[in-house]
Amino acid sequence: MNNRKIDKLDLEILNILQADGKVSNAEIARKVGKAPSAVLERVRKLKKSGIIEGYECIVSHKSLGRGLTAFTSIRVEEGVGATEVGQKLAEFPEVLEVHYTAGRDSYLVKVRVEDTEALQATLAKFGTIGPVRDTNSTIVLTTVKESRVIPLPLEND
Amino acid sequence: MNNRKIDKLDLEILNILQADGKVSNAEIARKVGKAPSAVLERVRKLKKSGIIEGYECIVSHKSLGRGLTAFTSIRVEEGVGATEVGQKLAEFPEVLEVHYTAGRDSYLVKVRVEDTEALQATLAKFGTIGPVRDTNSTIVLTTVKESRVIPLPLEND
DNA sequence: CTTGAAACAAAGCCCTC
DNA sequence: GAGGGCTTTGTTTCAAG
């Protein structure tokens, strides 16, 4: 979590990488008009400082029997133990996201499973976690957009 | 969207790629005990058939002034035009996900912005979309897990 | 940040099974 | 059809300026 100074060239590189995580350093170098070794050094520093968190291969969940996405709001017993609940929720492989949210003490999790039957099984597992009071699921019918690309300001900070 | 037959070797390759989107074909080949050219051919077919959707570079939003994540439920006028609303929502760069959900006619969107002020501005923009009735936002305090890695069954289909 | 050199990987071809 | 081995091209990586 090092807070390095990010300049315009870093932002350019990050934008190119966000558009396609598989571009080679050589091609980034061509696009920004610098030598490949210079770009390599930048990318390495961005990775080391935690600004680049990693690279993910996006696999089609529909093609692989995980066609059902649901968002489940989970109310937990107020007070202590809330953090551990989040950790336990994160351990389920079918739970892709775990967010602790404001408002009433609750988590919002994104679940990706095969069908409604599997969702029911997952919700039942949630119920076995101690401080979990109740759950409220919203089934996704169509996903129009799903990305992690964040807009980067192209001026300096 | 070709429905090819996925065998165990494909699943192994996908698991390795999901764990690290930047591994080289050569290293995958070493791990699965096959020649690099064979793995390359598999990966290409997986990409072509849509099972591999792409590769994303994950950039730390906190490091780059997008520290606020919110989930906003958007009720829309029932009936026609619902799809266009989803498309319009997806055009906002700060809107990372757009899901059309069951229940009442509504979208669930994930928004990533700088602060609450920016969230307010985004919500105001949502309001200018014709069929949008009202919005309901949940602020994320802590994100415990955020991934797109789906668990792959290691037996054949 | 650039250059140049060496190690490595990608991608195409041809061969075998 | 699918994988193994080879070759060429391009990329990564390091050292030195």
Tokens of B148: 């797109």
pLDDT at B105: 76
pLDDT at B143: 97
**Nearest nt to B30, CA vs C1'?**
C9
DSSP-assigned beta bridge partners for residue B100: A142, B107
Q: Residues B74-90: pLDDT tens digits?
A: 999 877 566 899 999 99
For chain B, list residues with pLDDT below 50: 1, 156-157
> Which residue lies nearest D14, CA-to-C1' measured?
A37
pLDDT at B157: 47
Q: Taking CA B132 as the corner, what is the angle to CA B141 and CA B116, rounded to the nearest 5 degrees?
A: 25
Neighboring chain B residues of A72 at a CB cutoff of 8 Å: none
Single pTM value for the model = 0.93
Which distant-in-sequence residues (6+ apart) come within 8 Å of A131 by Cβ?
Answer: A76, A77, A81, A82, A85
pLDDT at A156: 47
Does strand C come within 7 Å of the CB of B36?
Answer: yes
- Give CA–CA dist A14/A20, Å, rounded: 10
Tokens 């072509």, residue? Answer: B48
- The nearest CA of chain A is from the CA of B38 a distance in Å of 19
- The nearest CA of chain B is from the CA of A122 a distance in Å of 14
Neighboring chain A residues of B143 at a CB cutoff of 8 Å: 97-100
Show the beta-strand stretches assigned E in B77-131.
Answer: 95-101, 106-113
Neighboring chain B residues of A94 at a CB cutoff of 8 Å: 150-151
Q: How far apart are the first and last CA of chain B?
A: 18
- The nearest CA of chain A is from the CA of B140 a distance in Å of 4
Contact A3 B143 (CB under 8 A): no
Average pLDDT for runs of 10 along chain A of length 157: 78 97 97 97 97 97 96 87 88 98 90 98 96 95 97 71
Contact B55 A56 (CB under 8 A): yes
Contact B93 A151 (CB under 8 A): yes
